[in-house]
């Protein structure tokens, strides 16, 4: 397999570089995000989020991976939908999963998660399992109050703060 | 027409009053464009694909695919698994081509580990991949026929698929979602009697492929329904990142097995079928020709199957054999570490792509030097191929749209991940 060219860019550089790459015959195959908060290597000023673009040129069977840093709050990168149609779905997915905003995307809405979802699941600080999964209210499923589990009467087992059962005769 | 219009208006009014806009999203009698919702549960959308159609009479003027109904956060789940365990997650993405998911992921992890796969491991991987290409294309053949009203194609396609999934069951223990190709090689060696079963498959398949030729390829109704329908040009394929049989049916001469060879594909002799028309029938022909090539590849793979190890035997990567653990303390320690913790992959990132039945299937993994993937992204070909559906559908009839979806062969498990 031929070696892959790797480029690190800032978001402003990506907006200038992308049209050149398209004119050189590079085809965008994939675009996705990475949350680099837990990575120690390559610590630079490109910020916490980056998008990774995979390009291929068929003439000489070469590949290129472009890392584009997404700076700012919310992290923002220039959209390339006007250059490659591929980016349409891919940028929507990246926005959905990481909250990276693509400047110039015509229809930047959630694609995989429901439209009213809060948060961006692939971020490393997204609390997996800590969020009560409360789907849209459905009358026949409402038991007592939203977000409350059905009660089974008073529990006779005493528990401590961590939910562990208290042992009889265990002296503290 | 004038007699039916008030009734349509009444129906629209009732839908608006009662808030049941499930079928007709909007209807404007003046410009005669109706927005209709198709799916997400519809027999012709192959899973849970939802399409928002703009119709002028029976003609599709616009089409918007809406996805996400099968999203289960598999990429996030991979981050909680160890490197070996993530194989069992990625295999469930494109569920008709599980070996390709495992293959791309395993090769990406092997790139990070910097390890080699023994020749027998490579050949078993190619054997399973080509068989999997057959099963996947057979499902496509069956569903394409079914959607066109040729129900018997489904029965024939699934009859041969059954034979191959029996072989998968014999080798991996499972018919789908195998978790068989792992970083370092494959999980188990081929069992006794695999050669007889393979010879049986290779004897039967060429004749059966000829049967399909008679059943659909020369069927005048099928040709009428598919030729010149759902056309896409090579430039549009390039723009939308369309790969695989769909791109090859539009004249793009590109196959990763030949152009960026992996495993031992460069030692084997095969052709890449190309068609120029870019319509549904051309895509069908490319897939049929690919099945013939896969059978030819399988014959060579079975003939050349080397002896030796089937996975990398580095004790830091592969659990020791049971017999070894009864004698060696070191083997017990290795086993304990691998089972409780898993192996560590050096920090870095890698992308590896294989040619799946639907196009380039790539896995991008990032390691932070720990025992589980920091990030595991899978480029699923269906996700990108689906974007080209509006181009194919525009200007055609609703019935042509059904043919286009079938020829796209989208697997929603891979699209939504």
B362 vs A contacts (CB less than 8 Å): 29-30, 54
Distances (CA, A) of B116 to A1, B257, B262, B313, B337: 14, 19, 12, 10, 22
If one compares B78 and A38, the residue with the highest pLDDT of the two is B78
For B121-162, give the DSSP string: HHHHHHHHHHHHHHHHHHHHHHHHHHHTT-HHHHHHHHHHHH
Q: Which residue has the tokens 């584009």?
A: A68
Give domain status of residue A58, yes or no. Answer: yes
Q: In the predicted model, what is the mean pLDDT of residues A29-34?
A: 91
What is the pLDDT confidence band of residue B2, given thresholds at 50, 70 and 90? very low
The answer to whether the peptide bond before residue A74 is cis (omega within 30 degrees of 0) is yes
Going from N- to C-terminal start, the domains of chain B cover 5-66, 74-416
If one compares B165 and B25, the residue with the highest pLDDT of the two is B165
Q: Does B262 touch chain A if contact means CB atoms closer than 8 Å?
A: yes
For B347-402, give the DSSP string: SEEEEEEEEETTEEEEEEEEE-SSSS-SEEEEE-HHHHHGGGHHHHHTTSBHHHHH
Longest dimension (CA), chain B: 89
Of B46, B39, B37, which is closest to residue B408 (Cα–Cα)?
A: B46
Select from A34, A61, A85 the Cβ nearest to the Cβ of B387: A85
Q: In the predicted model, what is the mean pLDDT of residues B325-332?
A: 89
**How far, in Å, CA of B161 to CA of B174, rounded?**
14
The answer to whether the peptide bond before residue B40 is cis (omega within 30 degrees of 0) is yes
Q: Which pTM value belongs to this model?
A: 0.85
Q: Find out whether B72 and B48 touch, Cβ atoms under 8 Å.
A: no
pLDDT of residue A71: 83
Nearest-neighbour CA in chain A from B192: distance (Å):
34
Q: Does B379 touch chain A if contact means CB atoms closer than 8 Å?
A: yes
Select from B243, B252, B384 the Cβ nearest to the Cβ of A89: B384
CB contact under 8 A, B351 and A121: no
Q: In the predicted model, what is the mean pLDDT of residues B65-78?
A: 89
A28 vs B contacts (CB less than 8 Å): 241
pLDDT of residue B6: 52
pLDDT of residue A5: 82
Nearest-neighbour CA in chain A from B128: distance (Å):
21
CB atoms within 10 A of CB B185: 26
What residues make up the domain containing A55?
A: 4-122
Phi, psi (degrees; rounded to nearest 5) at B52: -100, 115
Q: Which residue has the tokens 């038991």?
A: A143
CB contact under 8 A, B67 and A52: no
Residue in A with minimal Cα distance to B359: A29
**Share of chain B residues as helix, strand and coil, in percent rounded to the nearest 5:** 50, 15, 35
Q: In the predicted model, what is the mean pLDDT of residues A112-124?
A: 86
Share of residues in chain B with pLDDT > 70 (%): 93
What is the pLDDT confidence band of residue A133, given thresholds at 50, 70 and 90? low
B1 pLDDT more than 50:
no
pLDDT in tens, B100-158: 999 999 999 999 999 989 999 999 999 999 999 999 999 999 998 888 888 888 888 89
What is the pLDDT confidence band of residue B4, given thresholds at 50, 70 and 90? very low
Q: In the predicted model, what is the mean pLDDT of residues A40-45?
A: 61
Give domain status of residue A131, yes or no. Answer: no
Burial of A110 (0-12, 13-18, 19+ CB in 10 A): middle
Select from B75, B386, B387 the Cβ nearest to the Cβ of A122: B75
Please give the interface size between A and B, counted as residue pairs whose CB atoms are below 8 Å apart. 88
If one compares A121 and B43, the residue with the highest pLDDT of the two is A121
Q: Which of B375, B391, B408, B416 has the most A C-beta neighbours within 10 Å, making it the best mutation to test the interface with A?
A: B375
CB contact under 8 A, B262 and A1: yes
Q: DSSP class of residue B40?
A: S
Tokens of A125: 């600080």
**Orientation angle between helical segments B398-408 and B119-147, nearest 10 degrees:** 170
For chain A, give the DSSP string: -PPEEEEEE-HHHHHHHHHHHHHTT-EEEEEEEEE-TT--TT-STT-SEEEEEEEEETTTTEEEEEEEEEBTTTTEEE--TTT-TTHHHHHHHHHHHH--EEET-TT---SSS-TT--S-TTSTTS-TTTS----S--GGG--SSTT-PPP-S---S-B-TTSPBPPTT---
Q: Which of A4, A6, A56, A61 has the most B C-beta neighbours within 10 Å, making it the best mutation to test the interface with B?
A: A56
B21 pLDDT more than 60:
no
Q: What is the ipTM of this complex?
A: 0.83
Residue B389 backbone zone (phi > 0: left; psi -120 to 50: alpha; other: beta)? alpha
If one compares B214 and B86, the residue with the highest pLDDT of the two is B86
Burial of B340 (0-12, 13-18, 19+ CB in 10 A): exposed
Nearest-neighbour CA in chain B from A138: distance (Å):
15
Question: β-pairing, B348-356 with B359-367?
Answer: antiparallel
**Orientation angle between helical segments B119-147 and B151-172, nearest 10 degrees:** 160
Tokens of A10: 């800032």
pLDDT in tens, B387-416: 999 998 888 888 888 889 999 888 888 898
pLDDT in tens, B144-153: 888 888 888 8
Q: Which residue has the tokens 């791309």?
A: B104
For B317-340, give the DSSP string: TSPPPHHHHTT-HHHHHHHHHHHH
As for how many domains chain A has, the answer is 1
Q: In the predicted model, what is the mean pLDDT of residues A47-54?
A: 88
What is the pLDDT confidence band of residue A1, given thresholds at 50, 70 and 90? very low
Q: Give the CATH class of B74-416.
A: mainly alpha
CB atoms within 10 A of CB A145: 6
CATH code of the domain covering residue A117: 3.30.460.80
What is the pLDDT confidence band of residue B290, given thresholds at 50, 70 and 90? very high
């Amino acid at each position: 397999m031929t070696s892959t060219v790797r480029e690190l860019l800032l978001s402003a550089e990506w907006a200038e570089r992308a049209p050149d790459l398209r004119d050189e015959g590079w085809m965008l195959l994939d675009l996705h995000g990475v949350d680099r908060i837990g990575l120690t290597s390559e610590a630079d000023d490109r910020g916490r989020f980056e998008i990774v673009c995979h390009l291929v040129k068929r003439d000489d069977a070469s590949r290129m991976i472009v890392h584009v840093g997404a700076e700012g709050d919310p992290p923002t990168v220039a959209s390339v939908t006007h250059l490659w149609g591929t980016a349409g779905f891919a940028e929507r997915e990246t926005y959905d999963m990481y909250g990276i905003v693509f400047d110039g995307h015509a229809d930047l809405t959630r694609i995989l998660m429901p439209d009213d979802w809060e948060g961006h699941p692939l971020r490393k600080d997204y609390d997996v399992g800590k969020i009560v999964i409360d789907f849209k209210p459905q009358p026949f499923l409402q038991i007592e109050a939203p977000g409350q589990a059905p009660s089974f009467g008073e529990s006779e087992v005493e528990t401590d703060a961590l939910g562990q059962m208290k042992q009889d005769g265990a002296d503290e | 027409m004038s007699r039916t219009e008030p009734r349509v208006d009444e129906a629209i009014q009732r839908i608006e009053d009662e808030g049941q806009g499930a079928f007709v999203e909007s209807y404007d009698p003046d410009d005669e464009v109706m927005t209709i919702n198709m799916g997400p549960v519809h027999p012709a959308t192959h899973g849970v694909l939802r399409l928002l159609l703009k119709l002028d009479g029976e003609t599709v003027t616009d089409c918007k695919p809406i996805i996400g109904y099968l999203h289960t956060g598999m990429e996030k789940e991979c981050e909680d698994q160890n490197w070996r365990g993530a194989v069992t997650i990625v295999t469930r993405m494109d569920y008709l081509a599980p070996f390709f998911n495992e293959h791309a992921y395993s090769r990406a992890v092997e790139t990070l580990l910097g390890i080699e796969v023994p020749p027998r491991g490579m050949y078993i991987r190619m054997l399973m991949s080509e068989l999997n290409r057959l099963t996947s294309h057979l499902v496509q053949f069956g569903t394409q026929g079914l959607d066109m009203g040729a129900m018997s194609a489904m029965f024939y396609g699934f009859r041969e698929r059954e034979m191959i999934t029996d072989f998968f069951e014999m080798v991996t223990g499972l018919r789908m979602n195998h978790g068989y190709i792992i970083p370092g090689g494959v999980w188990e060696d081929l069992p006794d009697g695999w050669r007889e079963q393979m010879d049986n498959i290779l004897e039967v398949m060429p004749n059966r492929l000829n049967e399909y030729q008679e059943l659909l390829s020369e069927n005048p109704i099928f040709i009428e329904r598919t030729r010149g329908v759902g056309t896409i040009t090579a430039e549009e394929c390039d723009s939308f990142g369309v790969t695989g049989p769909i791109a090859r049916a539009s004249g793009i001469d590109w196959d990763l097995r030949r152009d960026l060879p992996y495993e031992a594909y460069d030692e084997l002799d095969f052709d890449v079928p190309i068609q120029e028309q870019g319509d549904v029938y051309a895509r069908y022909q490319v897939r049929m020709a690919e099945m013939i090539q896969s059978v030819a590849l399988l014959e060579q793979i079975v003939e050349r199957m080397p002896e030796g190890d089937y996975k990398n035997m580095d004790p830091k990567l592969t659990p020791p054999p049971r017999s070894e653990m009864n004698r060696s303390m070191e083997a017990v320690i290795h086993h304990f570490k691998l089972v409780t913790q898993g192996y560590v992959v050096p920090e870095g990132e890698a992308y590896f792509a294989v040619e799946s039945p639907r196009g380039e299937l790539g896995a991008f993994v990032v390691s932070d030097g720990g025992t589980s993937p920091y990030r595991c992204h899978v480029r699923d070909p269906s996700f990108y191929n689906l974007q080209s559906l509006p181009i194919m559908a525009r200007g055609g009839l609703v019935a042509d749209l059904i043919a286009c979806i079938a020829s796209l062969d989208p697997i929603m498990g891979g699209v939504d991940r």
